[in-house]
């Protein structure tokens, strides 16, 4: 999953990004002013935008209005020091999906982020199941037929994305857009390498292949291999 943080307090933005990367295994981009934040939010397919309201150049509510006016449905979590009931009502009525005030508890913030992302993919249960495969998004624990499957960070990120979109063909371009931030260095066959590693870990002793290649289109994970 890929998240955009629009926050002018650089240290706070870095701390949030670190928590999202390490705890939720998200790819994260940071913008420290509203003008750049609006451009990034409108130009990239984010799974979540964390948005401050008091920003230089362009305010958070204006960014939010622009997103919704253009039909952009990305989940937006407002994170701000403005804590009056009027501010909260205005933020929600302008189109945000959630609203948190500073100071805040990082554990609660991360849980809200995970919930918003699950809602985007219509997955209310934090444990996503594909046949005998279970991906626990809250704990990042993956099991197959009850047996834990140890995964590296990017392997988990890729499997989570495919599981959230189980039954759908996911293109290589979509994987790159949703799982890598601007600073990530990718090589030409990076997706193929991770897919190959995941298959070796998931298909050991299995009669079929959970992750299938659809030639010319991408990859799909589904309950019943064909």
- Whether residue 174 lies inside any domain: the answer is yes
Domain hosting 52: range is 2-120
- Whether residue 180 lies inside any domain: the answer is yes
Q: Rounded to the nearest 10 degrees, what angle do helices 190-202 and 153-164 cross at?
A: 80
Q: Which residue has the tokens 């979590």?
A: 77
Final residue of a domain: which of 61, 88, 120? 120
**pLDDT value, residue 183:** 75
Q: What is the full per-residue pLDDT of the chain (226 aa) written as tens digits?
A: 999 999 999 999 999 999 999 999 999 999 999 999 999 999 999 999 999 999 999 999 999 999 999 999 999 999 999 999 999 999 999 999 999 999 999 999 999 999 999 999 999 999 999 989 999 999 999 999 999 999 999 999 999 999 999 999 999 999 999 998 887 766 668 899 999 999 999 987 555 668 999 999 999 998 765 4
Q: State the Cα–Cα distance between residues 58 and 38, nearest whole angstrom.
A: 8
User: pLDDT tens digits for 44-77?
Assistant: 999 999 999 999 999 999 999 999 999 999 999 9
Instruction: Please tell me whether residues 31 and 67 are part of one structural domain.
Output: yes
Instruction: Please tell me whether residues 24 and 85 are part of one structural domain.
Output: yes
Nearest to 50 by CA among 100, 92, 93: 100
Query: Looking at the 3D structure of the chain, how many domains does it have?
Result: 2
Instruction: Please tell me whether residues 180 and 94 are part of one structural domain.
Output: no
Instruction: Please tell me whether residues 79 and 101 are part of one structural domain.
Output: yes
Whichever domain contains 161, its CATH number is 1.10.10.10
pTM of structure: 0.92
Final residue of a domain: which of 104, 120, 136? 120
Instruction: Please tell me whether residues 152 and 46 are part of one structural domain.
Output: no
- Whether residue 226 lies inside any domain: the answer is no
Instruction: Please tell me whether residues 47 and 137 are part of one structural domain.
Output: no
Instruction: Please tell me whether residues 150 and 104 are part of one structural domain.
Output: no
Instruction: Please tell me whether residues 29 and 92 are part of one structural domain.
Output: yes
- Whether residue 191 lies inside any domain: the answer is yes
Instruction: Please tell me whether residues 84 and 21 are part of one structural domain.
Output: yes
**pLDDT value, residue 182:** 80
Instruction: Please tell me whether residues 192 and 216 are part of one structural domain.
Output: yes
Whichever domain contains 22, its CATH number is 3.40.50.2300
Instruction: Please tell me whether residues 134 and 35 are part of one structural domain.
Output: no
Q: Which residue has the tokens 């392997």?
A: 155
Instruction: Please tell me whether residues 116 and 180 are part of one structural domain.
Output: no
């Amino acid at each position: 999953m890929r998240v955009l943080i629009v926050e002018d307090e650089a240290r706070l933005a870095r701390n949030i990004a670190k928590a999202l990367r390490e705890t939720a295994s998200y790819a994260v981009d940071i913008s420290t002013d509203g003008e750049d934040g609006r451009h990034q939010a409108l130009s990239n397919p984010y799974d979540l935008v964390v948005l401050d309201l008091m920003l230089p150049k362009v305010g958070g509510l204006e960014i939010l209005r622009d997103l919704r006016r253009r039909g952009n449905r990305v989940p937006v979590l407002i994170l701000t020091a403005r804590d009056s009931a009027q501010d909260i009502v205005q933020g929600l009525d302008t189109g945000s999906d959630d609203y948190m005030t500073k100071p805040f508890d990082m554990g609660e913030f991360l849980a809200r982020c995970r919930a918003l992302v699950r809602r985007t993919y219509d997955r209310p249960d934090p444990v996503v199941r594909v046949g005998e495969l279970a991906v626990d998004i809250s704990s990042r624990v993956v099991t197959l037929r009850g047996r834990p499957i140890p995964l590296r960070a990017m392997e988990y990120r890729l499997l989570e994305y495919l599981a959230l979109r189980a039954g759908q063909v996911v293109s290589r371009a979509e994987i790159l857009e949703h799982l890598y931030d601007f600073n990530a260095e990718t090589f030409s066959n990076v997706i193929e390498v991770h897919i190959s590693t995941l298959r070796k870990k998931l298909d050991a002793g299995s009669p079929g292949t959970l992750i299938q290649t659809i030639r010319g289109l991408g990859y799909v994970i589904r309950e019943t291999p064909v």
